[in-house]
Structure 1
Amino acid sequence: MPIRPENLHRYPLNWPQISRRIRFERAGGRCECTGQCGLDHPGGRCPARHGEPHPDTGSEVGLTTAHLNHTPEDVRENNLLAACQLCHLRIDHGHHRVTRSITLAARAAAAGQLGLLSETDLVRTEPPTPPRPHSERTYAAVLLQLPLPDLDQEAS
């Protein structure tokens, strides 16, 4: 996932090398998620591989490096996880919700709007990632099973 310019200073200078080592040397180019995203992966580990179509979404996988505690300065091995886009976004889901709430409240305050939340309400706490049961039937598979109209019959 791209790093926002305002957050670049939070990453170590050797972040590209650290991220590459996690994604390709340690993980072997495969997503390391074993359920941190809330999904129940078949075989226990997400099967998504870098550069290949994602088994659930069909889009090309771009392996990323996720910070499990959402702190870019913390590059300890046990805090980093090679993750496909789907798993990374799900891992960060709660963090993104909270960040968006804080950003919107700050924008409203800057515009002179009185906030309904006190400063203590705006302290970041991470809600859990919502669970989603894994199904062998992906969205694409469901679409492929939809009955198609018989065009010859409709024309008559």
Structure 2
Amino acid sequence: MPIRPEHRWLYPIDWPEISRIVRFTRAGGRCEHCRRPHGRHVAQLGTDGIWWDTTIAAWCDGRGRQLRQQPAFVALERIRITRKPVYLATAHLNHDPTFSGPRWRNLAALCQRCHMIHDGPEHRRRRWWNAFRRRALGDLFSGRYS
């Protein structure tokens, strides 16, 4: 995932190399949460995270564990099977890009789905904070909103 120019100064100079090592050496080219492989199109059912792993020829859940039972065919008729490409990105687990921790324990290789699930609460917090800040500035300079 590209880094915004205004946030570039938060990351270390060798960030591309660190990211590559985390994604492909440590994680082996798979998401560290759901085990989806990087660079392949993965068949998945709806939005519940169930996907087809071609290496073991079985359906897996959102955490990368093999399902004990195949998905019901009734559900397969109603839910579209979509094929989506998987791309890994290096995520900061504590949402602080200035600190990578000892031996990069704060970093994880995550696919798009897992990255958005992980960052969801932080995105909601930032969205609230920005709205709060705008209202506070409006109250400060132009009086209370009606």
Report TM bin, short chain: 0.5 to 0.7
Q: Which amino acid aligns with 1:59?
A: K
Q: Which runs of 5+ in 1 are unaligned?
A: 34-45, 116-156
Q: CA RMSD in A?
A: 1.9
Normalised by the length of structure 2, the TM-score is 0.64
Equivalent residues of 1:23, 1:64 under 8 A apart: yes
Deviation at 1:55, TM superposition (A): 4.3
Equivalent residues of 2:90, 2:108 under 8 A apart: yes
Q: Distance in 1 between matches of 2:120 and 2:111?
A: 14
Residue 109 of structure 1 corresponds to which residue in structure 2? 136
**1:80 partnered with 2:107:** yes
Normalised by the length of structure 1, the TM-score is 0.60
Q: Which amino acid aligns with 2:118?
A: I
Equivalent residues of 2:138, 2:144 under 8 A apart: no
Deviation at 1:110, TM superposition (A): 3.1
Q: What is the DSSP-based 3-state SS (H/G/I as helix, E as strand, rest coil) of the residue aligned with 2:85?
A: coil
Identity value in percent:
47
Q: 1:13 to 1:98 in 2, by over 3 A?
A: same
More strand, by proportion? 2
Residue 31 of structure 2 corresponds to which residue in structure 1? 31
Number of residues paired by the alignment? Answer: 103
Residue 49 of structure 1 corresponds to which residue in structure 2? 37
Q: 1:95 to 1:31 in 2, by over 3 A?
A: same
Q: What is the DSSP-based 3-state SS (H/G/I as helix, E as strand, rest coil) of the residue aligned with 1:54?
A: strand
